[in-house]
Chain A
Amino acid sequence: MDNKKILAIISAIAKKIESEKDFLTELDNEIGDGDHGINLARGFKSVEEKLPTLADKDIGAILKGVGMQLVSTVGGASGPLYGTAFMKAGNACKGKSQLTDAEFASAINAAIEGIKMRGKAVEGEKTMLDALCPAYKALKDGIDSGKNLIDALKDGVDAAAAGVEYTKTIIATKGRASYLKERSLGHQDPGATSSLFILQSTLEVLRGA
């Protein structure tokens, strides 16, 4: 994976988030404050505008630039969380212009660790981690067992989708949905859903190559 591919992925994520903006906001209306789609779309739009200035940078610098842009434009909780995720992933790819499959997986792990640190959250609390953690595990298992990146990431996306379904069955203990207690049951988590979209967009770009 090279920096061109990373740029294409970021661009695909931005488009996906824009097209799912209303759906994410709708989900957030149910159990949050109804701005997840609006905030993320605003952030990724500004990321897309910034991408040309990152085009000739290495992968670490691109991801870090994306993270900083998200932090300064999204706001709310998702800004620091996704921003920190991209910044930590960038840190894991510092100076690299190519990533092996294992390095790609490590970058995703670094992103997840960043989200845990910033959000003081773990799996099972009805957050984006409920999509991301199982996705990483499936991806890593796939790569370790010799699958190619596309197949391994496909496993990851499936695991993330299952994770999103799982969020319907649990009560939120982190984030704004936690104020609803058992009323958050039956609703899928908007953050887990946007995380699934990010992984899906990544897979679509890799498949298209």
Chain B
Amino acid sequence: MKKLINSVEAVEEQMILGLVKSAPKKLRKLEGGNIVVRADKKENKVALVSGGGSGHEPAHGGFVGKGMLDCAVAGAVFTSPTPDKIFEGIQAVATDAGVLCIVKNYTGDVMNFEMAMELASDEDIKVAHVVVNDDVAVQDSLYTTGRRGVAGTILVHKIAGAKAEEGATLEEVKAVAEKVIANVRTMGMAISPCTVPAAGKPGFELAEDEVEIGIGIHGEPGTHRDKIASADEIAKTLLDKILADIDYKNQEVVVMINGMGATPLMELYIINNFVQDYLAAAGVKVYDTMVGNYMTSIEMAGFSITLLRLDDELKKLYDAPADTPALKR
């Protein structure tokens, strides 16, 4: 394992400390936990809390700030934070307007957030949650864990964050978050795996000519393996799966080309070049595009494509100001 770290045990805390020190006027780390909050607690608005395992930087700590999250709780690498820490985060930012937790649909995240919300309710904190499940690689069914929450989560943070900033009620913020979830779809792939520091070796292995399609964001293998193809062909595979899932024709969308951590912007732009032309040919109108590393898997090489179908409300909230380390508008 070759990584720029000091010790396996210190990875998460030093990462959070470094993040906070990159924006000392805007962010603060809570004592005794890898919990990032806004430097100045915002009152009179619904507080947004998210979190999950570390290794997805800039998610989620990088999205704490005006117009997005109030708090992000980081667990060990690829491991959900524990209920007591999530609860500390909730308590730190809770207002009379309530708290909305934005949870990615992974078994661990859902259970730990549920337990934390039970603790918060016991303290009479008004708390609700949404579960993001944008990954079309996974089949959705009543009998399974359901689709994973991946890069689309960032758009939930952005839009629900803008709604909360407007002073909307907890019910209204939750409703708009649900609307984003209903309209956002993502599909990802990897060309090389990542190594969890504590594990010391890659989560899976790929031959020189192999790619993993339908990957999640935890280094877990995807739905199937393929031979490497051109960037355009791979992007088409992912995009076709997304376009088949909900109807985007004649709709306005936000496109997110998200890097998995080790893929250079050069390649992401090459992919975006194809995606824009392909969407235009398919009659999908691109309102705005984000290209970059938003929801990563440590040093995995690969990318995901996210499409969010917009209406007037979502468009307005998407355009609203945001000031966070990883997203400014």
Contacts and interface: CB of A to CB of B under 8 A. Distances in A.
Contact of B220 (A33, A71, A74, A173): A33
A147 interface: no
A178 B220 CA distance: 11
Interface stretch (B74-82, B162-170, B259-267): B74-82
Given A35-B79, A79-B112, A174-B145, A71 B203 contact: no
B84 A35 contact: no
Given A34-B219, A180-B221, A25 B111 contact: no
A38 B76 CA distance: 10
B203 A29 contact: yes
B112 A75 contact: yes
Interface string B136-165: 011100011100100000000000000000
A73 B199 contact: no
Contacts of B65: none
Contacts of B78: 33, 35
B106 interface: yes
A63 B264 CA distance: 50
B216 interface: yes
Contacts of B224: 183
B217 to A, nearest CB: 10
Interface in A70-117: 71-81
Contacts of B219: 33-34
A77 B80 contact: yes
A175 B107 contact: yes
Q: Which applies to chain A's interface (DSSP): helix, strand, loop or mixed?
A: helix
Contact of A38 (B81, B144, B198): B198
Given A29-B204, A175-B107, A75 B79 contact: yes
A197 B249 CA distance: 53
Contacts of A35: 76-79, 196, 198-199
Contact of B144 (A25, A31, A34, A174): A174
A181 B145 CA distance: 11
Given A35-B196, A75-B76, A80-B108, A176 B218 contact: yes
A181 B139 contact: yes
B251 interface: no
B237 interface: no
Interface centre among B75, B77, B80 (most CB of A within 10 A): B80
Contacts of B75: 75-76
B107 A72 contact: no
Nearest to A81: B111
Among A29, A39, A78, which residue has the most Cβ atoms of chain B within 10 A?
A29
B84, B85, B221: most-surrounded residue (chain A CB, <10 A): B221
A179 B81 contact: no
Contacts of B112: 75, 79-80
A16 interface: no
B84 A77 contact: no
A119 B144 CA distance: 12
Interface string A168-209: 000001111011110100000000000000000000000000
A122 to B, nearest CB: 10
B80 A76 contact: yes
Contacts of B223: 179-181, 183
B297 to A, nearest CB: 10
Nearest to A173: B144
Nearest to A70: B82
A77 B199 contact: no
B115 interface: yes
A79 B108 contact: yes
A137 interface: no
B83 interface: yes
Interface in B39-73: 53
Nearest to A179: B138
Given A75-B108, A81-B111, A174-B107, 4 more contacts: A31-B221, A38-B198, A71-B83, A71-B115
Interface of B: 53, 75-85, 106-108, 111-112, 114-115, 137-139, 143-145, 148, 196, 198-199, 203-204, 214, 216, 218-224
Interface of A: 25, 29, 31-35, 38-39, 42, 71-81, 118-119, 173-176, 178-181, 183
29 contacts: A29-B199, A32-B220, A33-B196, A34-B196, A35-B79, A35-B198, A39-B79, A42-B76, A71-B82, A71-B84, A73-B82, A75-B53, A75-B108, A76-B108, A77-B106, A77-B108, A77-B111, A79-B108, A80-B83, A80-B111, A174-B145, A176-B106, A176-B145, A178-B145, A179-B220, A179-B222, A179-B223, A180-B223, A183-B223
